[in-house]
Structure 1
Amino acid sequence: MQMERHFRIKDHLEKIHICWNDQVKEPHPSTWFDSQKRPDVITTTEWDATIIWEGTYKRQILEKYYKRLNITIGLVVYAPAKLANRYLKQFLQSAEKHFMVGYHVIFYLLIDDKINTQSLSLKLGPLRTFKACNIYKEKEMDIDHFTLMSNLNAYVIDAIQFEVNYVFIMAVNQIFKSDFGVETLGRSIAQLHSWWYFQNTKHFPYERRKNAASFIPYGEGDFYYHSAIWGGTPHEVLNFTKEYQRGFYLDNSSKLNSEYEKYLNKYFFENKPTKLLSPEYNWDPAFKTPPQIKQVKIAWQPENS
C-alpha cells in the first residue's frame, strides 16, 4: 500500500511539474524576431516556426522577458569515458563562458562512475551548478544511443523535470565559440545540420527502409536535423525518449539497426519543432564557411579527430 501511495504521489507531482514547465510562455515572435533581416537564408518554416540566424533576433527584449520569469535551464551532456577524457573539460569550460550567461543553469553530466569530476577543475559562476549522473547500462543492450536515451528518460522522470524549465541535450565533442542565449529557447528545439542544410532535400540520409520505425518516404521531409543539439521543455524531451524507445524495440525485434539521429528526424517529421537553430549554432569547421554563416556559436569536433 505504501508503494502504491508513493507512485500515486509521484505521478501527481509529475503532472503538476509538467503543467508548470509548459506554462512558461514564449514571447510572440513579432516582438523580438525579424525574418526580413536575413533575406539570404530560410528564416521561417512552412509551419511558422522561427529559424534563428545571427541578426534575426533582439536578445535584449528576450532577456528582459526571461529574467523576469526567473527560469532555470538544463544542459545534459552524454560523456562516456572514451569521450569524456578527450572532450568533456573543454566542452564545460566553453559552456561556462558562453551558455545562457546570467541565468540559472544546471549542467547534467551523464558520465561513467570512473570519471573523477574533481579532475575537471571547473569553476562555475554563482547561478550555475553541475550534477554528475552515473551512466547505467543494460548488458544485453550495449549500444551508445540506447544507453543515452534510457538514461535520459530515467533522469528526466526522476529529477530534471522538477528542476528546470527548459533542457538541451548536447554531444560532448563540441566547443562553444560565442554566446548561446535565450533566443534558442522553445517548447521543442531542433538543430539544422550544417552540411545537409545546403544540400538537396532528396539526398537527405533519412531512414529509407519501409519496415524501420524511423522510415521517411522519398519525397517527404522538411530538413535534416543534427542529433548534436536538441531540446525543449522536459515534457517534450520525455515525449521523444519514449518514442525513441518504442521505435528502437520494434526495430530490434525485427533485427533492424538504425541510428539515433534517424529516430530524431522521424520524430521531428511527425512532431514539428517550434524553434529551429541555424547551422551557425553547430558549424563543422571542416567545411568551407559560406557567407550565410555570420557567427559560429558552436564548433563541431568529429569523434575521430
Structure 2
Amino acid sequence: GRPKCCSLHLGILPLIVLALVFFRPVWSCVACGSLSPCSRNDVLVLTPWLAPIIWEGTFNIDILNEQFRLQNTTVGLTVFAIKKYVVFLKLFLETAEQHFMVGHKVTYYVFTDRPADVPQVPLGAGRKLVVLTVRNYTRWQDVSMHRMEMISRFSEQRFLHEVDYLVCADVDMKFSDHVGVEILSALFGTLHPGFYSSSREAFTYERRPKSQAYIPRDEGDFYYMGAFFGGSVVEVHRLTKACHQAMVKDKANGIEAVWHDESHLNKYLLYHKPTKVLSPEYMWDQKLLGWPSVMKKLRYVAVPKNHQAIRN
C-alpha cells in the first residue's frame, strides 16, 4: 500500500491550503516586515529589471530606519541656489528639516554664487550645512547643465570622503511629507510627473542622432525628472561625470540637448539601470496636475513661481 508518511502528508494538505487562503494577508505582510499591505495593485511597483518602484504602501519605514541607523549612514543633499534662486533656499531647508531623512545624519551642500545670502536655518542634531561657492552663468540652461560638472568634481574632491549617499535636488521645491531612507539605493531616478503613465512614444527624449543624449524611438523604459536623483557617491559621480562629458561633446559639435542635463540623465539611466525608481510622489506639481487618487502622498512638490522673472 501507500507509505504512511505519504498518507499523512495527503491528510494535512487540505489544512495547509486553508491556512494559506485565510492567513495569506498576514503572513505575506509579515514577510515584508509589516502588518499593512506590502504592495499596491493600482500602480506599477517593479521595473522589468526587478528594481522596486517606491510608492506609499510598498515599504516599512521603521525597519528601514533601523537598518540605516545600524550602518551609521550619512546622506548628502546637494542643491544649487544660483542668482535669484537663492530666495527659495529658506523654504527648501526649513521643510527639509521637517521631512527629509529625519533622525539620520545629513549634510546640506549648497552651491551658490551668493554665499552671503544663504539663510540661517536651525538644524537638528547630526545635521549641518556646507556652502560651496561657484560662479554663475548668463543663461539658466548653462546653470542647469554645469550642475553635473560641479557635482562630479566635488564628489571626487570631498563627497566621497564625507557622506555615503548623495541626493541631488532642485531648490525651487519644498518637502511636504516624509522623504526618508526608503529612497536610498546604489542609483535611483524619479519618474517625471508628466509622463509616469505614458508610453515611450510620448517621452520627450532627445531624438536627434547628432546629440550624445540621443535615444531612438523604439528604446526607453521611463522618463526621469532631472530635479531629483541620487545614489551612492560612487554611482552619482559616475553618472554626473558621464553626463558632463556628453554635454562637452555636444557643445563641441554645436548642439544642445532638448532638455539639457535632463536629456543626458535619461540617456544614462536607460543604459545604466537604476536600482530603485521613485514614484511621482517624490516629484509633483499640484498646481499643474492636481492630486489624483493614485497619489497617496505628495512628498516633494513645486513651489509656485514666475519662471521668467527668476531665470532672468
Say yes or no: does 1:116 pair with 2:117: yes
1:198-213 counterparts in 2 under 5 A? 198-213=197-212
Where in structure 2 are there 5+ consecutive unaligned residues?
1-30, 308-312
Unaligned runs of 5+ in 1: 1-28
- Aligned counterparts, 1:1-305, within 5 A: 37-85=39-87, 87-117=88-118, 120-136=119-135, 143-258=142-257, 259-285=260-286, 286-301=288-303, 304=306
Q: TM-score, length-normalised on structure 2?
A: 0.83
Shift of 1:116: 2.7
In structure 1, distance between residues paired with 2:96 and 2:280: 18
Q: Is the 8 A contact 1:33 1:57 kept in 2?
A: no
Matched positions, count: 274
Find the counterpart in structure 2 of residue 5 from structure 1: none
SS in 1 for 2:155: helix
Q: CA deviation at 1:265?
A: 0.2
For 1:244 and 1:206, locate their aligned partners in 2 and report how far apart those are by CA, in whole Å. 15
| Kept after mapping to 1: 8 A contact 2:146/2:244 | no
**Alpha-carbon distance between aligned partners in 2 of 1:53 and 1:141, rounded to the nearest angstrom:** 32
How many Å separate the matches in 2 of 1:141 and 1:192?
23
Distance 1:138 1:84 in 2: 14
C-alpha displacement at 1:111, in angstroms? 0.8
Residues 102 and 279 (structure 1), Cα distance of their counterparts in 2 relative to 1, 3 Å cut: same
Name the Cα RMSD after superposition: 2.3
Q: 1:115 to 1:142 in 2, by over 3 A?
A: farther
Q: In the superposition, relative to structure 1, how do residues 246 and 67 fare at CA in structure 2: closer, same or farther (>3 Å)?
A: same
Structure 1's 162 and 303: CA in aligned 2 closer, same or farther, altered over 3 A? farther
Greater mean deviation of Cα atoms: 198-207 or 34-43: 34-43
CA distance in 2, matches of 1:298, 1:186: 18
Which secondary structure state, in structure 1, belongs to the residue aligned with residue 193 of structure 2?
coil
1:262-292 CA-to-partner distances (Å, cap 9, x unmatched) read 0000000000000011001111112122111
TM-score by length of 1: 0.84
Computing the radius of gyration from Cα coordinates, the structure with the larger value is 2
